[in-house]
Amino acid sequence: MEAPLFHHSQPSVESRSRSVNTYPKTELRDLARWGGPPAFVNPLHVGRPNVVGREALLRRFQGVLESGWLSNDGPELRRFEEEVARRLDVRHCVATCNATIALQLVARALELSGEVIIPSLTFPATAHALAWQGITPVFADVSSDSWTIDVEHVESLISHRTTAIMGVHLFGTPCRIERLQEIANRYRLRLLFDACHAFGCTHNERYLGSFGDAEVFSFHATKFINAGEGGAVTTNNFDLAQRLRRLRNFGFDLDGEVHEVGLNGKMSAFAAAAGSVSLAHMEEIVSHNYSNLVDYQRVIGPIPGICMRRPSLAETNNFQYIVAEIDPLRFGLTRDEVFLLLRCENCLARRYFFPGCHRLPAYLGASPPVSLPSTDAILDRVLILPTGLSIDSHAISVIGDLLRFMTANASFIREALSLTPGDAPGIPREFVRIEGPALPVPVSHYLDTMPVHLS
C-alpha cells in the first residue's frame, strides 16, 4: 500500500463524536434511508469552501477599505493577477468576476462565431458561455481512458462553421493538448481550454495555463483556491490580453475611449485579496487533498465494484476531486442507489456532470440527443466524493464503512429500495420507516479491521 506523503492532524475524540452518529448500523432501519440517524450529523459537501488565512484575509480587507480602491484595476487586483501568472508561468493573467464571464470574454476577444467543439462531459457553464455569445456548442465525446475530449471525434465534427475547439481539463487531467493543437493548426481553428478544474496541474511538467490561445480558470467558492467568486483568462498573447482587459471594462481603452462593445467582467478588490490569500495556502490545501486521496484509496481500494481514479503522479496535480466509479454488477447496487443512500447519510456525493450537456433540456432542441457512448457510460457510474479541508481521515473511514456495509447487504437493500415508494432517482424525499430484517452483515463486523474505532 502506498504510504501517504503528507500527514494531517486527526480530529479529537470529542469532535469525532460530535460529527458522527451512533454506530453500529445493524438493521435495515438503521440506514438513514429508512429512518435511522444519518451517519454524519452535519452534511459533508463536495467542494465545501476551503477557508484559510482568516487573520491575513481580514487584514487585507481592512487595507482595501482604507485604500478606498474597491474595484477597477487597483493594487489588489494587479497583485492577484501577477501571483497567478507567476505560479502558472504564463505571461498574462486577466482576472474576472467569474469563469463563465471569462469564457465569454475570450470567445468575444477571439471573435469566435458559428460552432465551437467542446466535450459534453463538463459543467454546463462551458456550453452556456458559448451559447450566450450566439455560438453553437457542438458536443464531442470523451476518450474512455482520460475522460477528456476525444480528438478523433473532434476531427469528425469539424464543419465549415467551426471556429474553435475548447477542451476541458476534467478533474485536473490535461487534455491531449499536442494532438488538439495539431488539429487546430491544420483546420486554422482557435484552441482554448476550460481549465477550471486544473489550477496548479501540469502537462509534461509545464503548468496548465499557457497552452492553446488561452485558458480559463475559476476561483469560485467551491474550487480549491477560491476568491468567493472569480475567474481568469491566462495567455502568452499580449494583444489578446489587452483586448480582454478592454472588454472586461465596458470596452474602455487606455485613452478612455470606447472603441468596442464591452461588458463588466471585473473582479473586485475584495475577491482579489481573497484569491491571493487562498493562493498563499495552496501547498497546504493540496497536501490535505492528497492525504484525503490516499485515505480514500486505503478504505475504498479493497471494496469490490468501486474503484477510484488516481491522477498520474508523474505530473503535479491539485487532487481537488475524489472520483469514484461504481460497477453495479460487482458492487451489487447501482451508482444512483449508492448516491441516494450516501446522501441520506448526509454524505452529499455528486454525479458530475449528469446527464451530460448533450442531454440538458437547454440543448436538446428539436432533435434527439446525440449518442456519446463514452460520456454516457462514464455518467452512469461516476460518483464524486467529498474532499477538501473540511474532510479528514475519520470521515473517510466512515464513508468506507458505509460503502462496505452497502455492498455486503446489497441484495437486501435493493429489495427494500424497490419496496419503498415515491423515489425520484437521486433525490431523497421524506424517509419512509419500514420494519426491515436485521442485515446479515452489520457494520460492527468491520470495526476491528478499521484503523479508527467508531463508538
Ligand X SMILES: Cc1ncc(COP(=O)(O)O)c(C=O)c1O
Nearer residue to ligand X within complex by CB, 197 or 359: 197
Task: Answer yes or no: are the C-beta atoms of 441 and 23 closer than 8 Å.
Answer: no
Nearer residue to ligand X within complex by CB, 102 or 240: 102
- The separation between the first and the last C-alpha atoms of the chain, rounded to the nearest angstrom, is 27
Nearer residue to ligand X within complex by CB, 100 or 162: 100
Q: What's the rounded Cα separation, in Å, for the pair 277 and 271? A: 10
CB of 267 to ligand X, least distance (A): 11
Q: What's the rounded Cα separation, in Å, for the pair 410 and 9? A: 34
Nearer residue to ligand X within complex by CB, 100 or 276: 100
CB of 269 to ligand X, least distance (A): 18
CB of 165 to ligand X, least distance (A): 15
Classify residue 432 as exposed, middle or buried by CB count within 10 Å of its CB (0-12, 13-18, 19+). Answer: middle
CB of 4 to ligand X, least distance (A): 27
One-letter identity of residue 303 = I
Nearer residue to ligand X within complex by CB, 225 or 344: 225
Cis peptide before 319 (omega within 30 of 0): no
The 3-state secondary structure of 218-243, one letter per residue: ECCCCCCCCCCCCEEEEECCHHHHHH
Q: Which positions lie near ligand X, rule CB under 6 A?
A: 98-100, 122-123, 125-126, 168, 194, 196-197, 218, 220, 231
CB of 345 to ligand X, least distance (A): 25
CB of 90 to ligand X, least distance (A): 18
Return phi, psi of residue 40, to 5°: -105, 130
Nearer residue to ligand X within complex by CB, 19 or 126: 126
Classify residue 28 as exposed, middle or buried by CB count within 10 Å of its CB (0-12, 13-18, 19+). Answer: buried
